[in-house]
Chain A
Amino acid sequence: MNALAALPLATATPGWHDLVGLLPELIVAGGFLALMLLDLVVPPARRTWLAVFSGAVLLGALAVSVWGWYDAGAAGRSVFFGAFAYDRLAVFGNCVILGTSLLTVVISPGYLIRRKLHHGEYYSLLMAATVGMMLLAGATSLMVIFLAIELLSISLYILSGFSRQEERSQEAAVKYLLLGSFASAFLLFGMALVYGETGHTQLAQIAASMSRSLPVDPLLVGGIILMFVGLAFKVSAAPFHAWTPDVYQGAPTSVTTFMSVATKVAAFIVIIRLFDDAFASYYSHWSAVVIAVAILSMVVGNFAALTQTSIKRMLAYSGIAQAGYILIGVAVGVGTSLGVQGALYYLAAYAFTNLGAFAVVTVMSGRGEDLDSYDQLRGLWHRRPYVAAALAFFLLSLAGFPPTAGFIGKFLVFAAAIQAHNVALALWGIGTSAVSVFYYLRVTLIMFQRPKEDAPAYEWPRTGVAGSAVLLVTAAGTLVLGVFVVLVLTVATMAQTGTLPGT
């Protein structure tokens, strides 16, 4: 008998059981490594092949994730000693993240070639960010949550500064890096307090410790709120949103497309897992903070968006407001079943809609600079009627008009607020939504105007097959989520019920 056999520490060894639960993440991580090597052998003129390869890897991971929905089953299971959840919430998050990543890869080559940014690192970093997001969606240990957030953030910092010739892009990267590190410090401090008070890094054990704790532990409440602050930075909720407009505007538009959607989805999945599950027994201590941040996000996002004249900044402020609406679902997610379902539905709806809106900006960005100011959209309807119609449709969905996905998402979270007897919260949501109609319709009207004679015309590039396909898919998704409500709501309900750690 050797020394290791007598060791009481490692009672279990990670095996196939654990690896199967991590299969989609492993596929994308393998794709990331392969892309780094492929970049060395693929000649620069043929870099579109890297996009094709990335797309194939992401499609494979998506297929495995869909299979994982059935393999994980309704109960889900915990892998890697409770560090990672293989449950339907994680699979739901993975599917949305992978879909977003896939659509981003499809529109990227055309845009990057026009902007002379077509480097192999783009695809490997995009894959790395995707892995980080997928890991975040399934993380059930404080260590994995932190590392996953860092993995996705560092990849996105680099991608934000991907245009090295452009000062604005570099500025965006530095701002994102500094404020993001600041947010990580908050998150880490919160985690340290939670760990210090419960003695565990795993959510299941933390939840068990918390439900036993009487009287209430003030340091634990502080830790939970600090963790929320750190995560609110990532979903760009007010008052932690200062970085969002500058980074969204400065980063290459295809990167903005990806990060505005996928980061939010991954961070919201972990927020739901933490707050509506692991920290549920401390609901009365954190709910007021979440509600305050939700209301502030809706007000700040919508009112600041009114005065914008740049489409990217407008969509950034709109994203802040949307984070507020999703937070309504999170805030009432413990008392009601509709809260988390509404938040998940909203995430799926937001993914299609916002991805579509940013995809229009990406596809229409020409050679010189990114499409940005409202004036550059003037008359789009007369030159590119299908693209203009698609953007109008996405903006209507963001504003919450039926029959779009945005309407159902808003309806569900407001209904959840009313179900939780928080009518005031629902009224805040409805009121700010009414405000949002102004700026969404303003952009729509500009597209339908005749171009001015003296204004320099913006050269919109051709949409291309890839661009048309992405716009078609996102528009179809926005419509399907707005019409076939039961379909996606069933999925959201199933995702919610099997959540680990399951308190």
Chain B
Amino acid sequence: MNVLLAVILILAAISALGVVFSSKTIYSALSLVLTVALLAAVFLVLNAQFLFVVQLIVYAGAVMVLFVFIIALLDPTAEDRPRLFDPRLILGVLAVAGLCTAVFIAARNDVTYDTACTTQAVTCMHGYTVGSLAATGDLSADPFHTFGFPENAVDRAGNVQTLANQIFHTYVLPFEITSLLLLVAAVGAVYLTRRVAVGPRRDPQAEERWRDELVEGGE
């Protein structure tokens, strides 16, 4: 399992480098698709099948197709490459390197890894506490199970079932409000982008007429 994970991660790192160093924007985008797909594979190895599918559908699918589309429309050959020794670039590299060093030092000093659950990302949350209050709180009393996620629950019930239970039982109210929210956004998008007569003859009645035609045409 660990060897497989290592191979996937190395490939992901290589393709991530490819995103940055490809000479053509279109290759960068395709490398990004590969990176995202490999990260999805990481989820699969970590026993999170649902996240694997979501990652593929949302990122590798919709977003990336959109991204490639945009690049194709923007005519990638016309784009000029940045200079190698751009002072801003050097400054950026230094800043990122400094940040990475700081994070690395902090991690060496403070964070201890729970070796018992390296292969199960979700259950690792159980041993992980943020802030001072979480440790003192009675976690089992919280039906939202945020940090007190029961150990091995995922293994016992399966990934999709676990998520379904969370979404349709514990979080059903926020879930339904989200659906209303998306509906409102759709109504707004339709209303605000609906065709109206613009130009020299600004006619506020035109929209009304267009609507009437639509209603009649639909019948």
Query: Would you call B215 an interface residue if the criterion is a C-beta within 8 Å of the partner chain's C-beta atoms?
Result: yes
Beta-carbon contact of B137 and A128 below 8 Å: no
B208 close to A44 (CB less than 8 A): yes
Instruction: Let me know if B187 and A29 touch, CB within 8 A.
Output: no
In the complex, the answer to whether B172 meets A4 with C-beta atoms within 8 Å is no
Residues of A within 8 A of B74 (CB): none
CB contacts (< 8 Å) of A157 on chain B: these are 188
Q: List 27 A-B contacts (CB under 8 A).
A: A4-B165, A9-B165, A10-B166, A12-B169, A29-B180, A80-B172, A80-B173, A116-B208, A121-B187, A143-B174, A147-B178, A151-B177, A151-B181, A154-B188, A158-B192, A195-B146, A197-B132, A197-B134, A198-B131, A199-B129, A199-B131, A199-B137, A199-B139, A199-B146, A209-B137, A212-B136, A212-B137
In the bound complex, residues from chain B placing their C-beta under 8 Å from that of A6 are 156-157
**Is the beta-carbon distance between A7 and B174 smaller than 8 angstroms?**
no
Within 8 Å CB of B136, what residues of A?
Answer: 209, 212-213
User: Contacts A8-B150, A201-B144 known; A143 to B171 CB distance under 8 Å?
Assistant: yes
* Cα(A208)–Cα(B208), bound, Å: 56
Question: Does A196 contact B130, Cβ atoms closer than 8 Å?
Answer: yes
Segment of A81-89, A308-316, A357-365 engaged in the interface with chain B:
A81-89
Chain A positions within 8 Å of B145 at CB level: 9
User: A119 CA to B177 CA in the complex, in Å?
Assistant: 25
Name the residue among B136, B180, B208, B215 with the largest chain A CB count within 10 angstroms.
B180
How far, in whole Å, are A379 and B167 apart by their CA atoms in the complex? 60
- In the complex, residue of chain B having the shortest beta-carbon distance to the beta carbon of A129: B184
Which positions in A face B, CB cutoff 8 Å?
Answer: 3-4, 6-14, 22, 29, 32-33, 36, 40, 43-44, 80-84, 116, 119, 121, 124-125, 128, 131, 135, 141, 143-144, 147-148, 150-151, 154-155, 157-158, 161-162, 164-165, 195-202, 205, 208-210, 212-213, 217, 219-220
Closest Cβ neighbor of A32 among chain B residues: B180
Q: How many A-B residue pairs have CB under 8 A?
A: 172
**What residues of A have a CB within 8 angstroms of the CB of B156 in the complex?**
3, 6-7
Q: Tell me if B24 is interfacial: C-beta within 8 Å of chain A.
A: no
B170 touches A10 (CB 8 A): yes
B184-A161 in contact (CB<8A): no
B205 interfacial contact with A, CB 8 Å: yes
**Do B165 and A10 touch (CB < 8 A)?**
yes
